[in-house]
Amino acid sequence: MKINVSDIASTINELGIPFEAQSRYLVAALARVLAYMLPIPANNVAGTPGEMFQSTYGAQVTAALDALNERMPVDYQQVLELTQKIWEVRYHLVHPNRDAQAWAAIDCCVQKANLGFEIDFTDAALQRLGQVITQGVEG
């Protein structure tokens, strides 16, 4: 995985990002891009998604940051941690099981898609009914 290093510093300056916020923007931008580009497994993973991320993608993220660090220092640990958190959100959107935050995010997306159905997918009664339906269900 390669990062477009050449234009990062000039873009930060062009955007007028204050000096004291530049490192935070860089960490967030890097983590966002890396997490969105890393694949999500087709099936639920054995163990935790975090363990899978570390063992499968940790070195890959570090290697991608190495090229950038030669020109612009970056906090590897912050980028790696945020990349993992964002990737785990994506993982839970694909494999929501009973992750309440993932279900809420999917409900918001479904609602914004304007499917033409008369019940609001963020409605509390629909949410509660969904909880009852999934009690005791595997997977």
Compute the Cα dihedral for 70, 74, 75, 80 and give only its sign. Answer: negative
Residue type, 116: G
Contact criterion met (CB below 8 Å) for 35 and 83: yes
Q: Which two tokens stand for residue 1?
A: 């995985």
Q: Provide the number of structural domains found in the chain.
A: 2
Confidence at residue 122, expressed as pLDDT on a 0 to 100 scale: 82
For residues 31 and 93, what is the distance between their CA atoms, to the nearest angstrom? 18
Same domain as 107, residue 87 = no
Same domain as 86, residue 130 = no
Same domain as 40, residue 79 = yes
Q: What is the pLDDT of residues 10-29, one digit of tens each?
A: 888 889 999 999 999 999 99
Same domain as 65, residue 17 = yes
Same domain as 74, residue 87 = yes
Confidence at residue 5, expressed as pLDDT on a 0 to 100 scale: 66
Confidence at residue 102, expressed as pLDDT on a 0 to 100 scale: 87
Same domain as 33, residue 90 = yes
Contact criterion met (CB below 8 Å) for 99 and 51: no
Same domain as 101, residue 91 = no
Parent domain of 112: 97-139
Same domain as 87, residue 130 = no
Confidence at residue 100, expressed as pLDDT on a 0 to 100 scale: 82
Q: What is the pLDDT of residues 78-134, one digit of tens each?
A: 999 999 999 999 999 999 887 888 888 888 888 888 777 887 888 778 877 877 776
Same domain as 130, residue 119 = yes
Predicted model pTM: 0.78
**Tokens 């935070």, located at residue:** 24
Closest listed residue to residue 95, CA positions, set 42, 131, 52: 42
Same domain as 86, residue 27 = yes
Same domain as 105, residue 83 = no
